Amino acid sequence: MNRPRIIAATVLFALLGALVPIASVAYATWSRATDAEHDRLQVTAERTLLRAHRAYETGLVALRRLNQSTLPPCSPEHLQLMRSLTLGTRSAEQIGYFEDGRLRCTSWGMMDNHVPEPTPDHITADGAGITLDVHPIAGDGTALIAVKLDRYDILMDPERFVDVITDPNVRLAVASPDGRLIAQQAILDQQLLQRLLREPHSGMDGHTLYATAQDQEWLAIATAPRTDLIASFRQQFRQFIPLGVLGALAAVGGVVWLSRRRLSLPAELATAVRRREFFMHYQPIIELDTGICIGAESLVRWARPDGTQARPDLFIPLAEEHGLIDALTDQVIERVIEDMRDLLVQDRSVHIAINLSASDVSSGRALKVLTRQLAGTDIHPQQIWLEATERGFIDVQRARNTLAVARRAGHCVAIDDFGVGYSSLQYLQQLPLDALKIDKSFIDAIGTDSATSPVTSHIIDMAKTLGLSIVAEGIETPAQLAYLQARQVDFGQGWLFSRPLPPDAFIAFHHQRLQQYGKAPENMQNPNNAVED
Ligand code: G
Ligand code: G
Ligand code: MN
């Protein structure tokens, strides 16, 4: 990535980093406020239900007492009893006594008018008949509720069913369970009310939050305007916004820190090249049918001054982009020769593979450096293998040139990461190659039923047809090894054998394998003594 791109990405991620925490806090606060408001309304609805039930129950108690009374009907004592029960029952307005289908007397006295027994709108579980909208003759015009049990009824003011103390904005209603409105404390939104009477539930619409509570006899509804919710959200959001701001600052800080690191990386890399901060690790390459370690792939490492290590995946492309790759390749070649000279001279069967970058392949310059560096070392050119990836083959003509020169000089040339590019087949025929390294993804696919799995087998066949040696990369399991051995793949590397090792550890590994497998190849097992990177 170039500088403007990094800066653009930084700004974008910083914006995102700032927005996400604040949006999260807003969202969390909104859900908290909504939940709290719903809980509050639910509690109110339940309290209202309880209130309605109490009003009804106290009426029922009075009715039961009267039905048990043996006083002569409508005698002064009987009237007296009805009157005192009316006064003693808070929600009661009047008590009436029925005989032969008509009202005979009430707590106020004898009835001369013909008042027929009301037909109940609803019978409760206690066997009481409830009639809504009763207008007693002596009343002031308010519609009352009649609860009738046997021969008596009690008239109650519906207001008593909803006289619960709540916040001023909360509105309450009580209905019968079949959806007949009994009382409302303040006028509710009629459409919402009808909807809730038909189908009681809790929730929120454009303007209103609502909750309902229900038992066998009554349905209570509580509603509150959303403006209350918004106020409570604002208040809570103000409380939590510092948290969001803190998160946003941390995120922006992190993004800026990362991008500064990234922006300063080319400069740091240039310094590293000058100060020679690179060193090599060596990942053993195993001859699969004997188990002997026949060499290693050299892998560059960068020890940064801050103690961290950067991955070559990151800094090799960066070095290519910033014109540092030549100097880096030179150092790699020098290091490899320095690290491995003694081993290579002692044991002619060992080889070390060096990775070439794309520009090394197209320019061919690295080859001249290599030849110059090898002069006088007594290392045979055959002992240095070169690995080139497809990225180096974009200019096929030049790549072919470089590879041909390399082979003429005596080096072995391998195509690296084979199979991950698009046009591998085309290169295979055009380029002078000795070996093919099968990419780890194809080794991973062995024994799975992925779509890639059969391709591995074809790659092996193809390499054999073309007369190329095969190196399998990234072997991690004994099953993968067994498959590759069965398919007579020549060489392999991977964590099953060893991670990339520092020079001394690699040399020790090589000797140990030679002792273990050198004389008796049939002894080969899956070693568990792989040394950590
Ligand atoms: O093992 P590792 O993470 O080190 O390797 C990551 C990638 O870096 C591999 O694809 C490898 O080809 C590349 N790489 C490792 N060492 C070198 C090197 O010395 N030169 C070049 N050009 N690429 C290398
Ligand atoms: O040059 P090439 O692209 O082949 O680089 C080899 C890379 O693969 C290095 O990063 C090396 O550390 C890594 N590697 C080697 N063996 C294994 C293995 O068995 N498992 C995994 N996950 N990575 C491996
Ligand atoms: Mn490689």
Angle at 473 between CA 467 and CA 474, to 5 degrees: 160
Which pLDDT tens digit goes with each residue over 45-56?
999 999 999 999
* Nearest atom, ligand 2, residue 476 CA: 19
The per-residue pLDDT for 519 is 58
Distance CA 391, CA 395 (A): 9
Asked if residue 473 has its Cβ within 6 Å of ligand 2, the reply is yes
pLDDT tens string, the chain, 533 residues long: the values are 667 887 888 888 888 888 888 899 899 999 988 998 999 999 999 999 999 999 999 999 999 999 999 999 999 999 999 999 999 998 899 999 999 989 999 998 988 888 888 889 888 889 999 998 888 877 778 889 999 999 999 999 988 888 888 888 899 999 987 888 888 887 778 888 889 988 999 998 888 999 999 988 899 999 999 888 888 889 888 888 888 889 889 988 988 888 887 777 888 899 999 999 999 999 999 999 999 999 999 999 999 888 888 889 989 998 998 899 999 999 999 999 999 999 999 999 999 999 999 999 999 999 999 999 999 999 999 999 999 988 888 888 899 999 999 999 999 999 998 888 765 677 788 889 999 999 999 999 998 888 777 889 999 999 999 899 999 999 999 999 999 999 999 999 999 999 999 999 999 999 999 999 875 434 444 444 444 45
Decide: 15 in ligand 1 pocket, CB within 6 A: no
Checking phi first, is residue 333 left (phi over 0); if not, alpha (psi -120 to 50) or beta?
alpha
CA 473 to ligand 2 centroid distance, Å: 7
Q: What is the pLDDT of residue 260?
A: 81
Q: How far apart are CA 352 and CA 386, in angstroms?
A: 8
In this predicted structure, what is the pLDDT of residue 301?
96
Residue 191 has what pLDDT?
Answer: 87
pLDDT in the model for residue 142: 83
| Token duo for residue 302 | 């960068």
Number of Cβ within a 10 Å radius of residue 368: 12
pLDDT for res 524 = 42
| Tokens 């290169």, residue located | 427
Please state, in angstroms and rounded to a whole number, the distance separating the CA atoms of residues 115 and 476. 97
Residues 171 and 399: their CA atoms lie apart, in Å, by 83
Q: Quote the distance between the C-alpha of residue 109 and its chain's center.
A: 75
β-pairing, 309-310 with 412-418?
A: unpaired
C-alpha radius of gyration, the chain, whole number = 45
Q: Is any ligand 2 atom within 6 A of the Cβ of residue 495?
A: yes
What's the 318 CA to ligand 3 centre distance in angstroms? 18
Q: What are phi and psi of 286, to 5 degrees?
A: -110, 140
359 CB near ligand 1 (under 6 Å): no
What tokens appear for 41 in the block?
Answer: 């309304």
Cα distance between residue 43 and residue 172, in whole Å: 12
Query: Which is the closest atom of ligand 2 to the Cα of 416?
Result: 4
Does residue 300 have its Cβ closer than 6 Å to ligand 1? Answer: yes
- As a whole number of angstroms, the distance between CA 512 and CA 501 comes to 14
Residues with Cβ–ion distance below 5 A, ligand 3: 355, 387, 416
β-pair type (469-472, 435-438): parallel
Given ligand 2 and candidates 361, 415, 440, which is best to mutate, with the most ligand atoms within 8 Å of its CB? 440
Nearest CA to ligand 1 atom 19: 300
Q: How many CB atoms lie within 10 A of CB 107?
A: 21
Residue 422: the pLDDT is 64
Rounded Cα distance, 52 and 178, in Å: 15
Query: pTM for this structure?
Result: 0.60
In this structure, which amino acid lies at residue 366? A
The Cβ of residue 396 has, within 10 Å, a number of other Cβ atoms equal to 15
Backbone angles phi, psi at 501, to 5 degrees: -120, 155
Q: What is the pLDDT of residue 1?
A: 60
Cα separation, 481 vs 483, whole angstroms: 5
Query: Looking at the DSSP assignment, which residues form a beta bridge with residue 353?
Result: 297, 385
Nearest by Cα to 284 from 21, 533, 48:
533
Give pLDDT, residue 523: 41
Buried/exposed code over 226-265 (b: 16+ C-beta within 10 A; e: otherwise): bebbeebbeebbeeeeeebeebbeebbeebeeebeebeeb
- Is the CB of residue 500 below 6 angstroms from any atom belonging to ligand 2? yes
Atom of ligand 1 nearest to the CA of 417: 10
Q: What DSSP string runs through 157-195? A: -GGGGS-----TT-EEEEE-TTS-EEEESSPPPHHHHHH
Closest C-alpha among 192, 179, 38, 206 to residue 121? 179
Half-sphere exposure of 405 (CA within 13 A, CB side): 17
Cα→Cα distances 150→65, 67, 157, 239, Å: 11, 7, 21, 60
> Hunting for tokens 């039923």 — which residue is that?
449
| Dihedral in degrees, nearest 10, Cα atoms 12, 14, 18, 20 | 60
Ligand nearest the Cα atom of residue 417: 2
- Closest by CA position to 209, among listed 227, 191, 195: 227
Write down the pLDDT at residue 96: 95
**Which 8-state DSSP code applies to residue 135?**
-
Helices (H), 347-466: 358-363, 365-374, 396-408, 424-430, 440-444, 453-465
Q: Write out 236-278 in H/E/C secondary structure.
A: HHHHHHHHHHHHHHHHHHHHHHHHHHHHHHHHHHHHHHHHCCE
pLDDT of 527: 45
What gap in Å lies between CA 197 and CA 202, rounded to an integer?
A: 12
Residue with tokens 């053993």: 284
Give the amino acid at 531: V
